[in-house]
């Protein structure tokens, strides 16, 4: 899943693709590099971010989704709002990637259930401007996240979402310390046992920057974390992860090809999970 941020303030590339034509061109380049899905987001979820108005988010993502879908791309919309999800699906989106797992907007789960698209429910506890206050997971972050994701599964299925249209995401970096994100990655197979495909988004995140910090504690810059991320991708491929959300599609695909030659699943790392698009 290649990331296309149509925002002025995303932590990795905010403002670079705010113009719709630039965003579409970037998405097409990611497709050429090997992306299977393009994830279009109009709201930054970096720590401390404030939310755009609904009209702003719609204006950012809908033209880009329509343009990329017209080129034959499988498009995902990264949104927490049912109104944006509905407009995105009408514009051609086949996936709704909701970092709140349906908790930010009560209308989201009924909306995606009736649309027939694939839904990604991420583990989430609070909006970006206050999520750092919600990192208490007791003695076992893996067990707690698994339990809270299980609640999201129950809510999604109760709303009428087809079981084969539900993907889960552990939410690395969202209301989680760096150490908690590493613990979740190490135990990612435990989350697969919930019975739904997993999407993992580790690309360029702060827990990588903390790991690679200078001697004085300064985190490694965002654009210089890909080598460590490649190691994370290999781990995901070996542990039954369905998809990875990445900024550097070429590096990800190179990793999967190399792992495939070493005998891990197939050349694309798809494992046992498959997905057909509406």
Asked if 102 and 160 count as a contact pair (C-beta separation under 8 A), the reply is no
d(CA 201, CA 264): 20
205 tagged catalytic: yes
Find the catalytic residue in 60, 165, 176, 205.
Answer: 205
Give the neighbor-by-neighbor strand order of the sheet with 75-78: 2-5, 38-41, 75-78, 95-98, 118-122, 166-169
Structure-derived torsion over alpha carbons of residues 182, 184, 187, 188, reported in degrees to the nearest 10: -110
- The two tokens of residue 149 are 């994701």
Reported as type and span, the H/E element at residue 143 is: helix 141-158
Structure-derived torsion over alpha carbons of residues 233, 215, 129, 77, reported in degrees to the nearest 10: -20
Find the catalytic residue in 245, 250, 257, 272.
Answer: 245
Known catalytic residues are 205, 245
């Amino acid at each position: 899943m290649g990331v296309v941020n149509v925002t002025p303030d995303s932590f990795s590339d905010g403002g670079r693709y705010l113009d719709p034509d630039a965003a579409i061109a970037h998405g097409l380049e990611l497709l050429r590099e090997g992306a299977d899905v393009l994830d279009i987001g109009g709201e930054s979820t970096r720590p401390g971010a404030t939310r755009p108005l609904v009209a702003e988010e719609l204006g950012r993502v809908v033209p880009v989704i329509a343009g990329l879908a017209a080129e034959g791309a499988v498009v995902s919309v990264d949104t927490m709002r049912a109104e944006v999800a509905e407009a995105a699906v009408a514009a051609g989106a086949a996936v709704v990637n909701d970092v709140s797992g349906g908790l930010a907007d009560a209308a989201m789960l009924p909306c995606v259930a009736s649309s027939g698209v694939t839904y990604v429910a991420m583990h989430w506890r609070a909006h970006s401007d206050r999520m750092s206050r919600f990192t208490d997971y007791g003695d076992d972050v893996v067990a707690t996240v698994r339990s809270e994701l299980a609640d999201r599964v129950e809510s999604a299925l109760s709303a009428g979402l087809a079981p084969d249209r539900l993907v889960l995401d552990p939410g690395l970096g969202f209301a989680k310390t760096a150490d908690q994100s590493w613990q979740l990655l190490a135990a990612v197979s435990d989350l697969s046992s919930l019975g739904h495909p997993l999407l993992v988004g580790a690309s360029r995140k702060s827990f990588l920057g903390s790991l690679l910090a200078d001697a004085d504690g300064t985190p490694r810059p965002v654009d210089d974390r890909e080598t460590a991320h490649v190691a994370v991708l290999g781990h995901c491929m070996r542990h039954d992860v369905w998809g990875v959300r990445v900024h550097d599609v070429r590096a990800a695909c190179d990793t999967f090809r190399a792992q495939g030659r070493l005998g891990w699943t197939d050349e694309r790392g798809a494992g046992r999970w498959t997905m057909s698009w509406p």
